């Protein structure tokens, strides 16, 4: 089965083609970062409009990359949520229309299911079950993944996502948008211990996160002080250390609680060098293993949507012609492919 995947839930327009026999045949991503950067964050209306302009040409290009004519596409998978509702509706409407025109089934995929299954795009995919640490600009959660459609959210952020906290702190230090990578680079030159920030919720049991207090601690630390390069580097270092320690401790706790030994790390913050090294060390020491899918499969992409959609379409799931999208969609509502009603 050849599945066309479409992802438009936020600020990336992405299109991929995934074949059940041959794997990933095309994978295109267009990032809107330059469009939103002057505004210091994603502007939903601008995002929707740009998706409209780019999506159809990108589908044509992806089909050309795969060397396939539309006639041999057997199904279409699009991200139906969660995400920005206007942006989601662009992908939903295009997917439905093409499905109708080509006479093939269409399925709405949960964006996080895509992220959780993305490791399967790698040749050395981790076996189920595993614990996934999903850390991006929009999400921060720990999920027990028992198999396709078998997800148990172990903990999630009560306020800001980890990437959001990186970006907001970077903004405070005048590092532009999205500032996560710049803040990480600055932290490389900073000294540990000059600024000690709180490790949010580490003293409490459970696996939830909270990062707004950490951001406030940074605000308080820099308030009224002249920000020279040295001081900014030390603040960045202190912030990153607090973030890394929190994420590592909770991930270990999740492995311990579930008795699972495999950890999969996904999302943009998973690119952070110190986080990767600390996780690798801590999990290996605890007798487990860590998997980092390659960066293009960790950040938003349509390959993961095509793969997840393929699993569901191949199991006979399909929907009527309504273009569906949900801004909010609890992951726990999903079921195994072919088992029960579509949960959209
Ligand atoms: O998964 P992702 O590409 O996209 C969305 O969330 O939409 O994640 C982007 C987030 C941003 O907040 C960015 O600042 C953060 O990941 N990020 C990093 C690093 N690289 C990207 N944060 C910390 N250290 C990094 N090296
Ligand atoms: Zn995402």
Q: What is the pLDDT of residues 270-296, one digit of tens each?
A: 999 999 999 999 999 999 999 999 889
Q: What is the pLDDT of residues 138-191, one digit of tens each?
A: 999 999 999 999 999 999 999 999 999 999 999 999 998 889 999 999 999 999
Burial (Cβ within 10 Å: 0-12, 13-18, ≥19) of residue 284: exposed
Record: fold of 2-116+298-333: Nucleotidyltransferase; domain 5 (3.30.420)
Q: Do domains 2-116+298-333 and 127-292 have the same CATH topology?
A: yes
Closest by CA to 292, choosing from 52, 45, 119, 160, is: 119
Among the bound ligands, the one closest to the CA of 267 = 1
Between the alpha carbon of residue 289 and those of residues 27, 126, 281, 307, 310, the distances in Å are: 28, 9, 9, 24, 28
Instruction: Give yes or no for a cis peptide into 178 (omega within 30° of 0).
Output: yes
Please tell me the distance from the alpha carbon of residue 304 to that of residue 109, in angstroms, as a whole number: 10
CA of residue 322 to ligand 1 center, whole Å? 33
Q: Which two tokens stand for residue 147?
A: 């198999």
In sequence order, the 6+-apart residues with CB closer than 8 A to the CB of 274 are 184, 187, 240, 241, 244
Record: fold of 127-292: Nucleotidyltransferase; domain 5 (3.30.420)
pLDDT of residue 127 exceeding 80: yes
Backbone angles phi, psi at 203, to 5 degrees: -80, -10
CA of residue 237 to ligand 2 center, whole Å? 26
Between the alpha carbon of residue 245 and those of residues 12, 34, 273, 279, the distances in Å are: 30, 32, 13, 9
pLDDT of residue 251 exceeding 80: yes
CA of residue 273 to ligand 1 center, whole Å? 12
pTM for the model stands at 0.91
Which atom of ligand 1 sits closest to the CA of residue 185?
Answer: 26
What residues line ligand 1, using a CB cutoff of 6 Å? 10, 136-138, 163, 166-167, 178, 180-181, 184, 267-269, 271-272, 299-300
Domain positions in the chain? 2-116+298-333, 127-292
């Amino acid at each position: 089965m050849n599945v066309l995947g479409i992802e438009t839930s936020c600020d990336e327009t992405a299109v991929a083609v995934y074949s059940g026999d041959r794997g990933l045949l095309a994978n295109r991503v267009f990032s809107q970062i330059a469009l939103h950067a002057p505004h210091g964050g994603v502007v939903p209306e601008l995002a929707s409009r740009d998706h409209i302009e780019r999506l159809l040409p990108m589908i044509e290009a992806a089909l050309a990359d795969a060397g396939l004519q539309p006639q041999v596409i057997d199904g279409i998978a699009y991200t139906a949520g969660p995400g920005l509702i206007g942006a989601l509706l662009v992908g939903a409407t295009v997917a439905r229309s093409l499905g109708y025109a080509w006479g093939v089934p269409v399925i709405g995929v949960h964006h996080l299911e895509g992220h959780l299954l993305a490791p399967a795009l790698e040749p050395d995919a981790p076996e189920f079950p595993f614990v996934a640490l999903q850390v991006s600009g929009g999400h921060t959660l720990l999920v027990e993944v028992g198999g396709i459609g078998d997800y148990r959210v172990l903990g999630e952020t009560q306020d800001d996502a980890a990437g959001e906290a990186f970006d907001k702190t970077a903004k405070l230090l005048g590092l532009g948008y999205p500032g996560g990578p710049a803040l990480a680079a600055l932290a490389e030159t900073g000294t540990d211990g000059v600024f000690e920030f709180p490790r949010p919720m580490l003293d409490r049991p459970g696996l939830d996160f909270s990062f707004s207090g950490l951001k406030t601690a940074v605000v308080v630390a820099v308030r009224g002080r002249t920000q020279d390069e040295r001081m900014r580097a030390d603040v960045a270092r202190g912030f990153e250390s607090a973030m890394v320690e929190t994420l590592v401790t909770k991930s270990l706790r999740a492995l311990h609680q579930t008795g699972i030994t495999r950890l999969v790390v996904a999302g943009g913050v998973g690119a952070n060098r110190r986080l990767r090294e600390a996780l690798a060390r801590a999990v290996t020491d605890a007798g487990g293993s860590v998997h980092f899918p390659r960066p293009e499969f960790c950040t938003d992409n349509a390959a993961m949507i095509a793969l997840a959609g393929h699993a569901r379409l191949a199991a006979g799931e399909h929907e009527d012609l309504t273009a569906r999208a949900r801004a909010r969609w609890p992951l726990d509502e999903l079921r195994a492919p072919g088992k029960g009603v579509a949960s959209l």
